[in-house]
Amino acid sequence: MLLGKTLRSTTFKLALISIGVFGAVVIVLFGYVYWSTTNFVLSRSDSAIEAERAALRNIYDMSGREGLIQAIERRSSTASFKGSVYLLGDQLFSRVAGNLKEWPVVKGAGQWTEFKSDVLGQKTDQALYRATWETLPDGFHLLVGKDISDLNRFATEIYAALAFAIFLIFVLAAVASVNVTRRTVGRIESISTTSRAIMETGLGRRIPIRGTQDEWDHLAQNLNSMLERIETLMGEVKQMSDNVAHDLRTPLARMRGRLEKASIEKNAPDHDQSLISETMADLDDVLRMFSSLTRISQIEAVNQTAAFRIVNLGEIATEVADLFDAAAEGKGGRVEVFGDKTARVNADRDLLFDAISNLVDNAVKHGREGGLVSIRLDHKGGEVILSVSDDGPGIPSEEFGHIFKRFYRLERSRSMPGNGLGLSLVAAVARLHGASIKLIDNAPGLRVELRFPFIDSIGDTTYGRSAASAA
């Protein structure tokens, strides 16, 4: 199956195309090498034959037919002319002199002919000769040639070597491309198998990593961390819709029950009145939860920085402390602001007020009976730090990672009023303001720290635009 996939894969097709192009170039190149090599050797032997014929013609011109016959006889019997053939024939091509028995089958005068023949006085096998001939002025014919068997063998050997090289190149290229393709297809296959498995079974699977640190591993790692993120988000979404469902169902069920009971029973008007106001209060809770949710997602989704101004963080903190002091008073405690009350940040006053209120509200609610909630303002390392701390029981540090999740509530505070959205809102507001948020064990109690980027120029603050006009 993998082989079939390998052969069908795009990589393999690309490899085939490049092998084809490369192979064609190699064949043409090798063909040229073969052609030019044999041609070169052949033309050298041809010019030697031409020179010999010209020399014999010269002898004929100088000393006539007798001289030529003598020269041919002498050459035929001399060892240094071994490998050459000479033949002088009469008008009817009958042999007159030379080392060939008879006139071979040849093409017209002046043309090259290759033929096999025996040589007189030599006990060798038939050899391949290449020759040319001319008609002398007296009507006789002179043929001069050379043994080209070696040449032929040389050409054959070159041909074989080149052909073998081409064959080898093709085989190696094919093997390499099948291998590379198979590797690629294998890695892609493992990714696509995993994705199919994820589609079918859920987000729990991960793409195997081979530890080769190559691009495939990097791809797999990236895809895995993407899956990780998606899984977390899906988990949060699920958790959230579960919580919405739960937090909605509880008051809705209460309201339904109440209304159902009222529709069956005949009640006194003042009883109906209290039923109506209780139901309205429950509905208000549900609506408040919805508006908190949409508020958080709007802060997160839209970059709401239109209302950003330089605001005095100290004044906001004092304002919040003043507001919540009334609530803390009910528990015998107090809320106080410490540190630099002139600290300024670039912020949306409403959102910041809401966020700090939530922090202080939490601190007052979960703090010690009669305890102190302190808001501290500080400059450190180019940042403005606002921290809200209480001296209550605090929260276990293993919960630190969870409490910014929407609807997350500690087991012990499930019975308290609230919807678990406060800190999510704080986190969203902090992100919008480029502030980091950190939870610290206050021992005892919890400290929440917001670190805002510091503003250098202290511009005109717009804080308190008409805040004092109550009329």
In the chain, helix, strand, coil percent, each to 5? 55, 15, 30
Least gap, CB of 323 to other proteins (angstroms): 5
**Binds other proteins (CB under 8 A): choice among 298, 342, 401, 438:** 298
277 scored as a contact of other proteins (CB under 8 A): yes
Stretch that binds other proteins, among 1-9, 178-186, 285-293, 369-377 (CB under 8 A): 285-293
**Binds other proteins (CB under 8 A): choice among 201, 212, 263, 466:** 466
Select 119 or 359, whichever has its Cβ closest to other proteins: 359
Select 419 or 442, whichever has its Cβ closest to other proteins: 419
**Binds other proteins (CB under 8 A): choice among 243, 292, 312, 442:** 292
DSSP character at residue 342? T
Q: Are 413 and 366 in contact (CB under 8 A)?
A: yes
Stretch that binds other proteins, among 79-87, 164-172, 300-308, 383-391 (CB under 8 A): 300-308
**Binds other proteins (CB under 8 A): choice among 232, 284, 412, 431:** 284
String of contacts with other proteins for each residue 407-436, x by CB under 8 A:
----------x-x-xx--x-----------
Q: How far apart are CA 425 and CA 296, in angstroms?
A: 5
Least gap, CB of 361 to other proteins (angstroms): 5
| Residue 153 to residues 36, 41, 94, 145, 158, Cα–Cα distance (Å) | 16, 12, 32, 18, 9
Mind spelling out the 3-state secondary structure of 158-198?
A: HHHHHHHHHHHHHHHHHHHHHHHHHHHHHHHHHHHHHHHHH
CA 304 from chain centre, in angstroms, equals 34
Select 145 or 420, whichever has its Cβ closest to other proteins: 420
**CA neighbor of 426 nearest in space, from 315, 331, 302, 300:** 300
Whether cis (ω within 30° of 0) applies to the bond prior to 453 is no
Q: Which of residues 305-364 bind other proteins (CB under 8 A)?
A: 306-307, 319, 322-324, 326-327, 329-330, 348-351, 353-354, 357-358, 361
User: Residue count at the site for other proteins (CB under 8 A)?
Assistant: 45
Q: Are 319 and 337 in contact (CB under 8 A)?
A: no
**Binds other proteins (CB under 8 A): choice among 28, 55, 281, 458:** 281
Mention every residue, 6+ apart, whose C-beta is less than 8 A from residue 339. Answer: 376, 377, 378
Select 17 or 307, whichever has its Cβ closest to other proteins: 307
Q: Return the SS3 of 442.
A: coil
Region at 398 (left for phi over 0; alpha for psi -120 to 50; beta for the rest): alpha
Select 21 or 416, whichever has its Cβ closest to other proteins: 416
Q: Return the SS3 of 424.
A: helix
String of contacts with other proteins for each residue 10-49, x by CB under 8 A:
----------------------------------------
Q: Are 343 and 384 in contact (CB under 8 A)?
A: yes
Select 52 or 354, whichever has its Cβ closest to other proteins: 354
Q: Which residues bind other proteins (CB under 8 A)?
A: 277, 280-281, 284, 287-288, 291-292, 294-295, 298, 302, 304, 306-307, 319, 322-324, 326-327, 329-330, 348-351, 353-354, 357-358, 361, 417, 419, 421-422, 425, 464-471
